[in-house]
């Protein structure tokens, strides 16, 4: 593998190509837990019926919006992603289910034009693994910049479990079954092999959460289903 798998254009191209089947594949990749996890990671944020500002970073096709609207029914929701194909599908979902009330932003989160100290909540589901340490540092600084003082955040990512048996089973699932299903859906399994490559390199959120702490954010770590997903949440101190 000669490509820099963390290069912005490489990652953007990867998700553009996967956009047609990514929502289904995300469900398969997580053993069907992705829907539950998207709800669970939001529980670390204080629920409210107030008209708060929420930003969904790396929104993909808006897979987390339903859980957001359920927990924050009156929130103004902004959704950001740099993949044109993902945004295209998010627009369809926005029109079909959300009366076009979600504000879509096609921007690179690492080089964004978002307003400082605007958001009460920042969330991100299953996008951390595509960043290297330097990029995570930028993401942490940007999260702090766009959050209001005292604003809250929650991030979650598919992870490599600590338990050796579960880790082996998960490796078989991600490195063999997922590409096989990818071949059936796309005719090309190579994109979905990258899910395991990213997961292996990422491991879990421990390093990422430390980077967020070093950026001046209060951080607590979480684990979901024996570490098959991990996350962190906290406040802008």
Tell me, what CATH number does 115's domain have? 3.40.50.150
Token digits for 75?
A: 């929130």
Each residue of 112-144: pLDDT tens digit?
A: 999 999 999 999 999 999 999 999 999 999 999
Other CB atoms within 10 Å distance of the CB of residue 206? 12
Judge whether 170 lies within some domain.
Answer: no
Tokens of 212: 């967020």
Are 99 and 32 contacting, i.e. CB atoms less than 8 angstroms apart?
A: no
Q: What angle do CA 196, 201, 202 make, to 5 degrees?
A: 95
Q: 160: closest CA among 149, 147, 175, 170?
A: 170
- Within-domain flag for 129: yes
Q: Is 27 contained in some domain?
A: yes
User: What confidence tier does 5 reach under pLDDT thresholds 50, 70, 90?
Assistant: very high
* 81: enclosing H helix or E strand: strand 76-81
Nearest to 233 by CA among 66, 42, 58: 42
193 in a structural domain:
no
Which tens digit of pLDDT belongs to each residue from 165-194?
Answer: 777 777 666 666 666 666 665 545 677 778
Query: Among residues 1, 156, 191, which one has the least CA distance to residue 83?
Result: 191
Three-class secondary structure of residue 111 per DSSP: helix
- Summarize pLDDT for 29-62 with one digit per residue, the tens: 666 788 899 999 999 999 999 999 999 999 999 9
Give residue 164's pLDDT band: very low, low, confident or very high (50, 70, 90). confident
| Residue 142 within any structural domain of the chain | yes
Residue 81 lies in a domain: yes
- Of residues 40 and 237, the one with the higher pLDDT is 40
Mean pLDDT taken over the chain:
90
196 in a structural domain: no
Instruction: Quote the number of domains for the chain.
Output: 1
Helices 22-29 & 8-18 angle (0-180, nearest 10): 100
User: Residue 28 sits in which domain range?
Assistant: 8-161+203-236
Considering the domain boundaries, does residue 102 fall inside one? yes
């Amino acid at each position: 593998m000669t490509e820099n798998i963390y290069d912005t254009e490489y990652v953007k191209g990867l998700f553009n190509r996967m956009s047609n089947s990514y929502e289904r594949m995300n469900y398969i990749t997580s053993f069907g837990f992705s829907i539950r996890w998207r709800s669970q990671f939001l529980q670390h944020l204080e629920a409210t019926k107030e008209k708060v500002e929420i930003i969904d970073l790396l929104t993909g096709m808006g897979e987390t919006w339903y859980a957001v609207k359920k927990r924050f029914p009156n929130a103004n929701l902004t959704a950001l992603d740099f993949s044109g194909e993902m945004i295209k599908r998010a627009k369809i979902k926005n029109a079909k289910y959300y009366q076009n009330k979600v504000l879509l932003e096609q921007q690179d989160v690492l080089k964004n034009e978002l307003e400082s100290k605007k958001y009460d909540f920042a969330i991100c589901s299953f996008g951390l693994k595509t960043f290297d340490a330097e990029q995570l540092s930028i993401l942490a600084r940007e999260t702090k910049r766009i959050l209001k003082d005292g604003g809250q955040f929650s991030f979650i990512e598919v992870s490599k479990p600590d338990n050796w048996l579960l880790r082996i089973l998960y490796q078989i699932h991600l490195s063999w079954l997922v590409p096989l299903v990818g071949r059936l859906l796309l005719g090309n399994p190579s994109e979905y092999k990258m899910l395991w490559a990213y997961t292996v390199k990422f491991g879990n959120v421990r390093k990422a959460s430390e980077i967020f702490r070093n950026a001046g954010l209060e951080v607590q770590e979480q684990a979901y289903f024996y570490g098959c997903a991990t996350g962190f949440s906290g406040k802008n101190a």
